[in-house]
Amino acid sequence: MSAEAVIRPLADVMPALESLYRDLHAHPELAYAEQRTAGVVAARLRDAGYEVSTGIGVTGVVGVLRNGPGPTVVLRADMDALPVEEQTGLGYASTATTTGPNGESVPLMHACGHDVHMTWLIGAAELLACTREPWSGTVVALFQPAEEGAGGAKRMIADDVFAVTGQPDVILGQHVFPLPAGTIAYRSGEMMAAADAYDIKLFGRAAHGSLPQFAVDPVVLAAATVTRLQTIVAREVAPHEDVVLTVGRMHAGATGNIIAEHADLTVCVRTFDEAVGERVIGAIRRIVEAECRASGTHRPPEFTETVKMNVLVNDEAATERVVGGLRAQFGDAAVREMPRFMGSEDFGEFGTACGAPSVFWLVGGTDPEVYAAAQEAQSVEAEIPVNHSPRFAPVMQPTLTIGVTTLVAAAMEWLGDA
Ligand SMILES: [Zn+2]
Ligand SMILES: [Zn+2]
């Protein structure tokens, strides 16, 4: 069934969606703290006629719209923001902060575009509710908390989300990405990497900054460790294996005249192959423990697993069906196959848990002219801010219009004729 009739009123509702987007962008909240956000999306869903359940997986929201017999199509968006200080200079930029575990002020920003995802999903949910004649079945709008490594999908599943949604026939999701707006990128099969992260505590011995002979300096230990960890990917993994090892956090000390007591690292490993992942994690332990011995620490390092995400796999038949719908809507040139990449997502957990096929794709959010100029100057990497950058600022149009349309078009591939 063509999505055309459902999409038709989009231009009329777009001003309201743009103001929803600006509002969500200006009010970011961290994982499992998406209280205001959940309230905003729940109210919109209720107004549109959805049966709304809240508090699934702490702050998750599920809206269900039954429209006769037919398949159950779950559309998923994520809600959490990041501890990033926004530097976009946008009029609706976030100045929000929250309080960290040690009482410190933590800046907040929707630096991954989850505000875009929520706006897309509200737009699609409203359009499907407002034009019900061309389709039949059940639409589920699922708003997931804590995508950024904190296990929000698994938490919703543990909270029995499928008792609320019913058994899905397909689960669909999409992410804004620094491709030129107008481009949609998909991949059948393995699309995004598994991720494992560990907090590592290195114990030194504190002393006066003038008395290194009394200390075991954890700053020097941490610096040596971080440098040596880089050799795992370069020297221990076969060149054809995709592996990224990033030390995303390194913290030690308070001031110049004190040698610190301990140093803290967070290491994240991304892989596609489980055996390779285990090997890399084994190598991390070996190097960290050996560097501690080399420094003469009195206490072994502590490892705490903080993130465990699986490879995101798109169902092949379902991907073909979605891509068919997107090509019909946008033309072949706009819908491109992409290589797998090293980002991670817990979207795939839903399909794995309920046995339904799932499809995830990317929607470009960079001004196409800006992107083309950067490409021309061979400076895409230097000039185009990516997800998690403090300068990540998807252009509202055509990004919002395209992302609502893709969701509706993909959903209509399943919802079929009424
Ligand atoms: Zn992210
Ligand atoms: Zn994200």
> Which bound ligand lies closest to the C-alpha atom of 78?
2
* pLDDT tier, 417 (very low <50, low <70, confident <90, very high otherwise): low
| Those residues with Cβ within 8 angstroms of residue 356's Cβ, 6 or more apart along the chain or in another chain | 74, 167, 168, 169, 170, 171, 350
Could you tell me the distance, in angstroms and rounded to a whole number, from the CA of residue 99 to the centre of ligand 2?
Answer: 22
Residue 18 has pLDDT above 80, yes or no: yes
Percentage of residues of the chain with pLDDT beyond 90: 98
Could you tell me the distance, in angstroms and rounded to a whole number, from the CA of residue 141 to the centre of ligand 2?
Answer: 17
Answer for the pair 361, 322: CB distance below 8 angstroms, yes or no.
yes
Q: What is the mean pLDDT of residues 96-123?
A: 97
Separation of alpha carbons 169 and 166, rounded Å = 9
Length of the chain: 418
So what's the pLDDT on residue 2? 77
Residue 353 has pLDDT above 60, yes or no: yes
Could you tell me the distance, in angstroms and rounded to a whole number, from the CA of residue 112 to the centre of ligand 1?
Answer: 5
> Which bound ligand lies closest to the C-alpha atom of 389?
1
So what's the pLDDT on residue 418? 55
Could you tell me the distance, in angstroms and rounded to a whole number, from the CA of residue 117 to the centre of ligand 1?
Answer: 12
> What percentage of the chain's residues is helix, strand, coil (to nearest 5)?
40, 30, 35
Q: What is the mean pLDDT of residues 269-291?
A: 98
Answer for the pair 140, 74: CB distance below 8 angstroms, yes or no.
yes
* pLDDT tier, 263 (very low <50, low <70, confident <90, very high otherwise): very high
| Those residues with Cβ within 8 angstroms of residue 248's Cβ, 6 or more apart along the chain or in another chain | 197, 266, 267, 268
> Which bound ligand lies closest to the C-alpha atom of 118?
2
- State the amino acid at position 17 in one-letter form: L
* pLDDT tier, 250 (very low <50, low <70, confident <90, very high otherwise): very high
Could you tell me the distance, in angstroms and rounded to a whole number, from the CA of residue 118 to the centre of ligand 1?
Answer: 14
Q: Which residues lie near ion ligand 2 (Cβ < 5 Å)? A: 112
Residue 1 has pLDDT above 70, yes or no: no
Could you tell me the distance, in angstroms and rounded to a whole number, from the CA of residue 173 to the centre of ligand 2?
Answer: 11
Q: What is the mean pLDDT of residues 160-169?
A: 98
Q: What is the mean pLDDT of residues 320-326?
A: 97
Could you tell me the distance, in angstroms and rounded to a whole number, from the CA of residue 388 to the centre of ligand 1?
Answer: 6
> Which bound ligand lies closest to the C-alpha atom of 387?
1
Could you tell me the distance, in angstroms and rounded to a whole number, from the CA of residue 110 to the centre of ligand 2?
Answer: 9
397-400, long-range: CB within 8 Å, 24+ apart, which pairs? 397/181, 398/181, 398/182, 399/116, 399/176, 399/181, 399/363, 399/364, 399/365, 400/14, 400/17, 400/18, 400/21, 400/116, 400/119, 400/120, 400/123
Could you tell me the distance, in angstroms and rounded to a whole number, from the CA of residue 148 to the centre of ligand 2?
Answer: 7
* pLDDT tier, 60 (very low <50, low <70, confident <90, very high otherwise): very high
User: What is the pTM assigned to this prediction?
Assistant: 0.95
Q: What is the mean pLDDT of residues 193-216?
A: 98
Could you tell me the distance, in angstroms and rounded to a whole number, from the CA of residue 44 to the centre of ligand 2?
Answer: 22
Average pLDDT for the chain: 97
Tokens 């440098």 belong to which residue? 227
Q: What is the mean pLDDT of residues 207-236?
A: 98
> Which bound ligand lies closest to the C-alpha atom of 386?
1
Q: Which residues lie near ion ligand 1 (Cβ < 5 Å)? A: 112
> What's the distance, Cα to Cα, between the start and end of the chain in Å?
9
For residue 300, is the peptide bond before it cis, meaning its omega torsion is within 30 degrees of 0?
Answer: no
| Rg from Cα positions in the chain | 23
Could you tell me the distance, in angstroms and rounded to a whole number, from the CA of residue 147 to the centre of ligand 2?
Answer: 7
Q: What angle do CA 391, 117, 243 make, to 5 degrees?
A: 65
| Those residues with Cβ within 8 angstroms of residue 414's Cβ, 6 or more apart along the chain or in another chain | 71, 73, 137, 169, 170, 321
So what's the pLDDT on residue 416? 75
Could you tell me the distance, in angstroms and rounded to a whole number, from the CA of residue 167 to the centre of ligand 2?
Answer: 25
Residue 316 pairs with which residues in a beta bridge?
none
Could you tell me the distance, in angstroms and rounded to a whole number, from the CA of residue 149 to the centre of ligand 1?
Answer: 8
Q: Where are the alpha helices (DSSP H) in 135-217?
A: 152-158, 161-165
Separation of alpha carbons 255 and 209, rounded Å = 9
